[in-house]
Structures are given as C-alpha cells and as structure tokens.
Amino acid sequence: MDKLIEQSLRALLAREGLQPKEGDLEQFSEIIELYMENLKQLHSVNLGAEELAPVFRPEWTAK
C-alpha cells in the first residue's frame, strides 16, 4: 500500500484508539488504493460555489 495512505490510516485509527486487524492492511491494500484514487475524481468536477449539499432547514416541521 502507498506509504502515505498507510501512515494516514494508522494515525486516524490510533486517534480513535483503534488498530487494524493483523493482515488487514495487506489484504485490503488494493481496494483502499482504488478508493483513494477514485476519491480524487470526485473532486475533479467543478460544481461552482452555489452547488450545495442537502441543506439544514430550521422549520420545526422540516425533517
């Protein structure tokens, strides 16, 4: 697995008091790398400043 991704993952897990199951990082390296690569594509689209995520509405009747 890419060193930076592995270090990040270990640090993020440690921050939560977690550690990976033995062998998992090797077993899952391919999917983790593919996911991180495709994550970059998600940011490749120009959505403009006004394209919002679903927004909070303050009305008490709103869900």
Rounded CA gap, 10 and 27, in Å?
Answer: 15
**Residue 7 structure tokens:** 């270090």
**Residue 60 structure tokens:** 């008490």
Note whether 4 binds other proteins by CB under 8 A.
Answer: no
Q: Give 16 or 59: the residue with its C-beta nearer to other proteins.
A: 16
Note whether 3 binds other proteins by CB under 8 A.
Answer: no
Measured distance between the N- and C-terminal CA atoms of the chain, rounded to whole angstroms? 42
Chain contacts with other proteins (rule: CB under 8 A): 5, 8-9, 12-13, 16-21, 24, 27-28, 30-32, 34-36, 38-39, 41-43, 45, 47, 51-54, 63
